Structures are given as C-alpha cells and as structure tokens.
Amino acid sequence: MSNDDQSIQKTDSFAALRYKDFRSYIGMRFFFTFAYQMQTTVLGFYIYQLTHSKVAIAFIGLAEAIPAVGIALYGGYIADKYEKRKMLLIIFAGVFLAALTMFIVTLGSMRYIVPAGWILPVLYSMIFCNGLARAFYGPATFVIYAHSIPKELYPNGSTWSSSSFQVASILGPLTGGAIYGFAGHIIPGLSGITATFAFILLFLLVALVLVYLLRKFPPVFIPKENIWKSLKEGLNFVFTNKVMFYAMSLDLFSVFFGGAVALLPVFALDILKVGSEGLGIMRMATSLGAALTMITMVRFSPMNRPWRNLLIAVTGFGLSIIGFGLSRVFYLSLVCLFLQGAFDSVSVIIRGTLMQLLTPDHMRGRVSAVNSMFIGSSNEIGDFESGMAAKLLGTVPAVIFGGSMTLLIVTVTWLKTKKLIPLSLKEIHAPDNQAQQL
C-alpha cells in the first residue's frame, strides 16, 4: 500500500467499513450483542420474580462462568488452530438452540405443559451452554477482527467495533425490558418472557446469517507441540508481560467486587420499585455512559498516559458503584450507572489497545482466551459474588462493600505499578520498556 493510500485511510472515518468482512463482523457483533443483552436483562428479572432469591441471581453468573473459565484456554487453542468462520457458525447455532429451548420452556410453563419445577433447571442448563459458547466466541472473533482489516486501520476499526457494541448494549436492555413489560398485554397468548425470547431468536438468526457471509479465516499458526505446551506458551506470555498482567488483574478484581449489575433486578423490584421497564432503563444508562464516552475519546484519547488514566478510570468506577448503592432516587441512580459505564469504557479502550499492540499474531487466540478468563468471565463471577454478598450482608451493604473493595484494589495496584504512571503509550510498547522492571 502506498503512503498516499495510507494517508487517505487515516483521514477516512469509514475506512474500516470499506472492507466487506469487517462490515459482516460489525453486523454480526451488533445483533449478537443486542440479543445477548436482551436475554441477560430479562432472565435476571424473570428468575428473581419466580424466586425472590438473591442466591438464584448469583447462580446465573456462576452457571455461565464455570464453563467460560474452565475451557477458555482450550477455546483459544482451537481459535489459533482451526478455521474461524466454521467455528462461529457452530457457536451461533448452539446459542440459537439454547435460546429456542428457553423460549419453548417458558411458553410451555405458561400453558402448564412444562412442570414449574423444570423451569429453573432448564434455564440454568441453557445458561451453562451459553458459557461453553463464550469460551470459543471471544478468541474466534478476536482473530477475525485482527485479519478483517489492515493493521493501520485498527484504531478506526476499534472505534466502529466498540461503538456498535455499545449501541447494542444500550438498545438491547431497553428493548428487552419494554417487550417484557408490555408485549404480554399486546400479543395474545404470550407472556412477557416468551415474547422477549421470540425477538431474541430473530436477532440471533440475523447474526447467524451475517457469520455465513464472512470469508473463511484459515489458521495463521498451527501449533506443532502438544496442546498443554501450546497453552502454557500463551499463559507464560501473559504472566511475564507485566503491563498485560497488571491490567488484566486490575479488571478481574475490580469487576469481581464492584459489579452491581446482577443486583439491578433487586433494585428495580424492591428498592426503587420501577419494574421491568425501569430495569431496562438502568441497564441502558450504563451502556449510554460508555457509548458517549467512547465517542468523546475519539477526539480526546486516553492513551497519552495510559496507565495513569486507567487507574483514574477504575477509581471513578468504584466511586460510582458506592453512589449507586447509597441512592434511593431513581434519576440519581441512573446518573451513577451512567458514570459507571463512562469510567469503565475508558479502561476498556486502554486495556484493549494495550492488548492488541502487545500480542503477536501467532498467539492472538490463546492470549485472547487468557484475557477472557480475566475480563470476560469476571463479570459473571462478579455477579455470583454480588448475589452471595447481598444474601449475607443485604443488598445495599453488598454494593457499598464492592465499591470500597474496588478502591482498595486500585490503591494496591498504584503502589505496585508507580513506574508505569508517567509513561506514554510508545514508552510502554517499547521492547526495553520499564514495565518489565516492575
């Protein structure tokens, strides 16, 4: 590619979208995220309505986290070794069948065909299946993104990819909450949960078609050693790269203790008393904060002093969690959730950029798998922690405790990584960077 072509691409806001595979990737990710966010929102509300048990909410996260963490490294190994389009077709077909099963069981329970005692075991089983799919989905899409556009377009592609994800994360919960609250009254013969799953199936089907439109992505690297040595290579890379290790650790523990998302159904029903529609708006507020902040970061990049900005962002995340726990006013709670999403999006951009720059091409699947163990599954494990803490401490004390622990974790990380704070992105990325001296 000539220098003129590269210059045009750098000034073209739509440069990444001019690649067919990237358009299919963006569309697939949007509709899958839309459906996933709808499903997550209504399942938590539905299960809490059935049980009024915070422990039942906790087990939603655990059911998905166990398989997602347990076979994440194997998922990364497979993503490096096999053709990615075929992988995604199998993954999406499995997720579609899991959603179809949940649709059938909720419809059957409403018509007294399915015994009430079957509902929770079936739902948890399907959530477990989604966790299995997650273990392979993350590494496969990470590799597809890396090879769907040239490297010089990664920043532009990251903006589009993150924006599509956040828009879906805004609209998905809002749509799910609205359908759950109103569709049962509008569509005869369907309950709110069943109507919502009908739309989820539609969006998953669209995502499956878009995966089919992708070209084939053959493996760039086929491990010659056995699987255990190959996986060990990925783990060693992450744990010996101090920047990547501390960034992943910071996210793991802050989300583990600071995630209040799992308890939103409790706040919606019992504390703020705003129902399923209010739950959808609360879920939307977090994503709206993230989306608007990401748009702002296109103009004001957080990468001038990435480690300093990462610590500031996680501190703001912890403070917004505490504010949400203390609030008894719906609109103030929305502000706190908005700020939570805004601060989290800053840390997501910083970690994502560092990860793309520091990971060699032949290890992207395995490194992404380790990343999903730290970051992707920390949300579900954090949901379990939040539910159990709410059972033991009470809902509000559990949220305040989680935010306080996040602040403690930031303080410890700051003490361990002071040398990284003044460094620029270029200095951190340099082969002889000071990060390795931590």
Q: Tens of pLDDT along 105-130? A: 888 776 667 676 788 899 999 999 99
The H or E element containing residue 426 is helix 425-429
Which residues of the chain fall short of a pLDDT of 50? 1-10, 434-437
Residue 381's pLDDT is what? 72
Tell which residue, 50, 54, 46, 60, has the closest CA to residue 263. Answer: 54
Distance CA 316, CA 311 (A): 9
Residue 126's pLDDT is what? 94
Distance CA 45, CA 36 (A): 14
Residue 224's pLDDT is what? 62
The H or E element containing residue 218 is none
Tell which residue, 186, 194, 178, has the closest CA to residue 277. Answer: 178
Whether the CB-CB separation of 238 and 232 falls below 8 Å is answered with: no
Distance CA 165, CA 163 (A): 5
338, amino acid identity:
F
| Reported pTM | 0.72
Using CA atoms, how far residue 206 sits from 92, 98, 200, 415, in Å, is 10, 16, 10, 48
Q: Which CATH class is domain 13-437?
A: mainly alpha
Tell which residue, 62, 24, 33, 316, has the closest CA to residue 162. Answer: 33
Tokens matching residue 387: 């539910």
List pLDDT tens digits, range 253-288: 777 777 677 788 888 888 998 887 788 788 788 878
Cα 388 to its chain centre, rounded Å, is 21
Tokens matching residue 238: 């992450």
Cα 52 to its chain centre, rounded Å, is 26
Residue 339's pLDDT is what? 93
Residue 436's pLDDT is what? 47
Residue 226's pLDDT is what? 62
Residue 98's pLDDT is what? 95
